[in-house]
């Protein structure tokens, strides 16, 4: 019988409303989710009352096997329990599935309402890309006569070939695949460029001021630091205060006329370093901050020096005209692509998810089908919830009982599907709206049972110094830290080491023209050889004793295998 922590027990046993489980890496979330299901069955519940959804088939299969084994073990101890006996075969047909498979089931069970064939095929990525290329070629060939302002769009985008326009169409269309109400989104996108709509202007000024507030904070701190470091820094402090005034000026502007005027007036004097203070840490830090501000103003904000309120208003009208043409092109492309798919009775996963939305929501309200599904499942358990996108979020809301039977597990820090338009901010928002004392309830699993304290301390150090709500979408405070959950044998020299290789530095014995990746590979190989040659000792968990390191104990992790020479 596992020894559960207090928070794990809460996640296993708590019922009565919407539950959000923020589960850190190595916190045993799969075991907890499985145990919650098993407890429900052992207490008399039916496994087919539950919908359990995750991202991969492997994860769904692992969970199904784990649940089945636990029920079988319980039945062996209590062979007269007919309820447990009946649950064993039900596990095999219960809804422990991937999101894509669940959407596909909904579409196939309601194919007649979608005017599609029940036995449709699922397109592979390669097959869909071939179709996309065929369709976009036909659409762009006819664009001059079919799409209003297409020629203006080409000019506006400064595109001279259809290949470049094609990429823009693909980008917008791929994004539309991840949102539920596509036509409404397109309408709103166009309306944002109306004369009386200041959304984009306000958004731009907000972004500029947020960045300037960061510089303001850094400048105020470094000025104090320079003041306390040396009396010889008076001139540097004067320069820093002048630059701080530039920042404050930008923070106070609210029009393009004012902003362009302020930006054009900014100049950075040559910095004069007091004699003998070249390597002073405070001075070095100031130089870095100053250089970064200079780049921000002179490079990133340079174009805004020439934008006035009048020119912005004209550009806004041009934007609206171009956006309407682009979205008309996208709608035409998507319509033709869907017709092509219908003709071959084959659809992509994103098409099938959109079919599910069409079946579950009409005119902003849940359909009868959605109401029936929401009555069918006593609880909906969603794993890896941090990687849901807006479309998936809408589907689960539609089939839930007013959200009250949702059990969501995730960790924003582990979101890996941004490239597929995952929206970890949805999970973050659910966490912020939840409470530890009432429903919707937040339960945090912060103990890590996978790694040593030294590994966790290093991870916490990196995350504490890098992750904020603005950068990484997580405020890495005590509630987000990783805490040691497992016990390990005492060891020596286990602190994390960081080795930085200067790619520009050349070793006398080094071969010429080595790439940075090759230099890293050589360094790693030498490090491994040294550990093997010197009989570095590791602890063998299976044997319960120390032994000499072997090649199979070592793993090399890379950001990507592309261009790797490992």
End-to-end Cα spacing for the chain: 42
Phi-psi region of 51 (alpha: psi -120 to 50; beta: other; left: phi over 0): beta
Strand spans (E) along 76-223: 95-98, 121-122
Q: From residue 224, how far is each of 38, 227, 234, 269, 281 by CA, in Å?
A: 59, 5, 11, 21, 14
Q: Where does 393-502 show beta strands of DSSP type E?
A: 406-410, 441-445, 447-448, 483-484
- Cα 247 to chain centroid distance, Å, stands at 32
Q: Could you tell me which residues come within 8 angstroms of residue 170 by beta carbon, excluding any fewer than 6 positions away?
A: 132, 136
- Token pair 């041009």 is found at 318
CB 46 within 8 A of CB 14: no
8 A C-beta contact, residue 32 and residue 445: yes
d(CA 371, CA 148): 42
Rounded to whole angstroms, how far apart are CA atoms 25 and 414?
A: 8
Burial of 131: CB neighbours in 10 Å, binned 0-12, 13-18, 19+: middle
Task: Give the predicted TM-score (pTM) of the model.
Answer: 0.80
pLDDT of 507 reads 61
Backbone angles phi, psi at 513, to 5 degrees: 60, 35
Residue-level pLDDT at 492: 75
Output the CA–CA distances (angstroms, integers) from residue 81 to 42, 44, 71, 84, in the order listed: 10, 10, 11, 6
226, 283 contact by CB (below 8 A): yes
* Strand bridging mode 441-445 / 121-122: unpaired
- Res 540: pLDDT: 85
Check residue 543 and report its DSSP letter.
T
Give the relative orientation of helices 281-295 and 199-229 as an angle to the nearest 10 degrees: 160
Q: Is 151:144 a contact under the CB 8 Å cutoff?
A: yes
Half-sphere exposure of 447 (CA within 13 A, CB side): 13
> Which of 400, 396, 380, 377 is CA-nearest to residue 388?
396
**Residuewise pLDDT in 10s, the chain (566 residues):** 568 999 999 999 999 999 999 998 899 998 999 999 999 999 999 999 999 998 889 999 999 999 999 999 999 999 999 999 999 999 999 999 999 999 999 999 999 999 999 999 999 999 999 999 999 999 999 998 989 899 899 888 887 677 789 999 999 999 999 999 999 999 888 888 887 778 888 999 999 999 999 999 999 999 999 999 988 999 999 999 999 999 999 999 999 999 999 999 999 988 888 888 888 999 999 999 999 999 999 888 988 988 999 999 898 899 899 999 999 999 999 999 999 999 999 999 999 999 999 999 999 899 999 999 999 999 999 998 888 889 999 999 999 998 999 999 998 888 766 656 678 888 888 888 988 889 999 999 999 998 889 999 999 999 888 888 777 677 888 888 899 988 887 777 788 889 888 776 666 555 567 888 888 889 999 999 999 999 998 888 788 888 999 999 999 988 777 666 55
Enumerate the H helices of 14-98 as residue ranges. 29-42, 57-77, 82-93
Helix 234-251 to helix 199-229 angle (10° resolution) is: 160
Return the sign of the alpha-carbon dihedral for residues 181, 354, 106, 46: negative
Helix ranges (H only) for 230-277 are 234-251, 256-265
Tokens 């409470």 found at: 435
Q: What are phi and psi of 499, to 5 degrees?
A: -115, 120
């Amino acid at each position: 019988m596992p020894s559960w922590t207090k928070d794990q027990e809460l996640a296993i046993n708590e019922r009565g409303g919407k539950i959000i489980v923020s589960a850190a890496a190595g916190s045993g979330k799969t075991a907890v989710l499985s145990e919650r299901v098993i407890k429900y069955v052992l207490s008399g519940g039916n496994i087919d009352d539950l919908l359990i959804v995750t991202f991969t088939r492997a994860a769904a299969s692992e969970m199904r096997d784990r649940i089945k084994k636990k029920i079988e073990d319980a039945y062996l101890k209590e062979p007269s329990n007919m309820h447990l006996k009946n649950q064993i075969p039900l596990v095999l047909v219960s809804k422990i599935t991937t999101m894509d498979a669940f959407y596909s089931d909904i579409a196939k069970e309601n194919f007649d309402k979608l005017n599609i064939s029940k036995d449709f095929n699922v397109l592979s990525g390669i097959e869909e890309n071939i179709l996309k290329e065929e369709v976009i070629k036909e659409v762009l060939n006819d664009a001059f006569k079919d799409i209003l302002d297409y020629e203006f769009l080409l000019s506006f985008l400064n595109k001279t070939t259809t290949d470049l326009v094609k990429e823009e169409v693909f980008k917008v269309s791929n994004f539309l695949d991840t949102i539920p109400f596509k036509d409404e989104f397109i309408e709103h996108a166009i309306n944002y460029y109306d004369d009386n709509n200041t959304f984009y202007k306000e958004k731009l000024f907000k972004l500029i001021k947020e960045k300037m507030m960061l510089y303001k904070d850094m400048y105020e701190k470094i000025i104090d630091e320079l003041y306390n470091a040396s009396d010889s820094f008076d001139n540097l402090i004067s320069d820093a205060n002048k630059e701080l005034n530039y920042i404050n000026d930008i923070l106070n502007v609210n029009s393009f006329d004012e902003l362009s005027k302020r930006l054009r007036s900014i100049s950075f004097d040559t910095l004069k370093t007091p004699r003998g203070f070249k390597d002073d840490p405070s001075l070095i830090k100031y130089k870095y901050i100053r250089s970064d501000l200079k780049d921000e103003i002179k490079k990133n904000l340079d174009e805004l020096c020439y934008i006035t309120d009048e020119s912005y208003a004209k550009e806004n009208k041009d934007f609206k005209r171009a956006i309407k043409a682009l979205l008309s092109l996208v709608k035409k492309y998507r319509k033709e692509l869907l017709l092509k798919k219908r003709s071959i009775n084959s659809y992509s996963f994103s098409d099938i998810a959109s079919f599910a939305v069409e079946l579950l929501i009409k005119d902003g309200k849940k359909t009868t089908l959605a109401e029936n599904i929401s009555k069918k499942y006593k609880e909906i358990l969603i794993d890896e919830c941090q990687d849901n996108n807006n479309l998936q979020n809408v589907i689960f809301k539609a089939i839930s009982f007013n959200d009250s039977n949702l059990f969501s597990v995730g960790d924003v820090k582990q979101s890996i599907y941004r490239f597929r338009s995952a929206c970890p901010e949805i999970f973050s928002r659910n966490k912020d709206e939840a409470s530890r004392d009432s429903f919707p309830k937040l339960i945090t699993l912060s103990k890590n049972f996978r790694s040593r304290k030294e590994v966790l301390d290093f991870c916490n150090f990196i995350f504490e110094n890098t992750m904020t709500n603005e950068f990484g979408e997580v405020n890495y405070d005590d509630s987000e830290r990783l805490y040691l959950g497992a016990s390990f044998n005492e060891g020596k020299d286990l602190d994390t080491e960081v080795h930085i290789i200067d790619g520009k530095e050349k070793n006398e014995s080094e071969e010429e023209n080595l790439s940075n990746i090759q230099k890293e590979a050589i360094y790693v190989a030498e490090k491994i050889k040294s550990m093997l040659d010197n009989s570095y000792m590791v602890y063998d968990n299976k044997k319960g004793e120390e032994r000499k390191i072997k090649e199979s104990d070592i793993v090399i992790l890379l950001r990507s295998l592309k261009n790797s020479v490992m």
